[in-house]
Amino acid sequence: MKSHWQIAIALSLAVVVGALAPVDSDVIAVCGFVGGLFLNALKMVVVPLIVSSIINAMSTFGDAGALSRIGIRTMLFYSATTLLAVLVGLTMVNLVQPGVVDGQPARELLGLAAGGEKVSENVSGAKLSDIADVFYRLVTANPIKAAAESDLLGLVFFSMLFGIFAARIPGSAGQVQRDFWSGVRETMMHITALVMRFAPIGVFALVAKAFSSTGVEAIRPLAMFFFATLGGLLFHMLVTMSVLLAVVGRVSPLRMLQAMTPALLTGFSTSSSAGTLPVTLDCLRNRAGVSERVTGFTLPLGAAINLDGTALYECAAAMFLAQAYGLHLDFATQFVIVAMAVVTSMGVTGIPSASLVAIAVILGAVGLPLEGLGVLLAVDRVLDMCRTAVNVYGDGCGAVVIGRLEGESGILKQPD
């Protein structure tokens, strides 16, 4: 049976088991253990795989012209799609108005204590801050520490520099470097393939545990926010991305969804787009047919900075809380939220619930109290699964579109 079917069946069984088994039962304890092992195995391959893929891709570019062309295209694609995602989130929340119930702000219903007037004073006095932090992490002071803490932003930047200059070293010293990194990458791909053989079991364990502890009821109190965000995520994935794939990439969005299925399901069940990177690389190379040159550059970079689903969620969450406090945000404040969502999403690490930190930064920047984070926690688990799948899909679309712009003709043509 094909791997995506195996994972899909595991996922459906897990929802049933998670809904039936009590959270303190032995079954769920075993699921917690097995799921933890699977997550560890994925995390184990992430850092060496990212470093070797980027260095390898960089050093195979050879001429600086090709590298800068692909670099500029990738950055443009990633920033544009993140901005589009945020605008979809903004539109959804403005249309659905989840923070308003029967014409009244939902502040009391949600148990938020801070008074509306006090909050509105803070909002008008707040300033932009913390964007500088993203740059500090990009130019990391300690690449080993960045690797140890899986801080992809600093790691990707350092590996890019390393690859660019390894390509320029003449003679055998340079050749040894390039052969070494190519060997590391090849080895890591084999280890990844081994880990992926266990994906159906890992997915089953993780989802069963998540559903038994969250339960579907947790969604109810915040249903409007939940569905507005979910609608936005689906729109971004199925409409915005499909248009870009069809118009710019000239490939079939349906075939793309098919090729990405294992990565989407792994992202959904692990809530970690960085942890899913090995699967994403595998899907794009072996199922979509994008070259190693393009995937080795675009995907690790995307895992570090391109989190469309996260950016959409950050913007929707901040707007939802502002509505719940009864604030009418002017255009300038909405603009600040959009800009902050785009920039901070680039600094969010692709691990579970990572965007809560970024939301705290945004709330602080526009002057909203942090107590709202507690409200979001009720729906965060399930929305995290969904936005992570969207994050993974965004990276994959980036690789396909850039590959097509680079003139690759075999993309999404061959049968799976």
Question: Under the rule (CB under 6 A), what is the footprint of ligand ASP?
Answer: 271-273, 307, 310, 348, 350-355, 384, 387-388, 391
Q: Is 101 helix (H, G, I), strand (E, B) or coil?
A: strand
Q: How far is the CB of 385 from ligand ASP (least distance, A)?
A: 8
Q: How far is the CB of 338 from ligand ASP (least distance, A)?
A: 17
Task: Using the minimum distance from each CB to ligand ASP, give the nearer residue, 327 or 399.
Answer: 399
Q: How far is the CB of 125 from ligand ASP (least distance, A)?
A: 28
Among 202, 217, 318, residue whose Cα is nearest residue 271: 202
Among 359, 321, 337, residue whose Cα is nearest residue 114: 321
Task: Using the minimum distance from each CB to ligand ASP, give the nearer residue, 52 or 310.
Answer: 310
Q: How far is the CB of 39 from ligand ASP (least distance, A)?
A: 12
Q: How far is the CB of 343 from ligand ASP (least distance, A)?
A: 15
Task: Using the minimum distance from each CB to ligand ASP, give the nearer residue, 166 or 351.
Answer: 351
Tokens 């990572």 — which residue? 354
Q: Cα Rg for the chain, rounded, in angstroms?
A: 21
Q: Is 140 helix (H, G, I), strand (E, B) or coil?
A: coil
φ and ψ at 379, to 5 degrees?
Answer: -110, 0
Among 226, 286, 222, 225, residue whose Cα is nearest residue 260: 286
Region for 62 from its dihedrals, namely left if φ exceeds 0, alpha if ψ lies in -120 to 50, beta otherwise = left
B/e letters for 260-276, b = 16+ CB within 10 Å, e = fewer, are bbbbbbbbbbbbbbbbb
Task: Using the minimum distance from each CB to ligand ASP, give the nearer residue, 189 or 307.
Answer: 307
Residues in contact with 16: Cβ distance below 8 Å, sequence separation at least 6, in sequence order: none
Q: How far is the CB of 188 from ligand ASP (least distance, A)?
A: 20
Task: Using the minimum distance from each CB to ligand ASP, give the nearer residue, 199 or 354.
Answer: 354
Task: Using the minimum distance from each CB to ligand ASP, give the nearer residue, 74 or 280.
Answer: 280
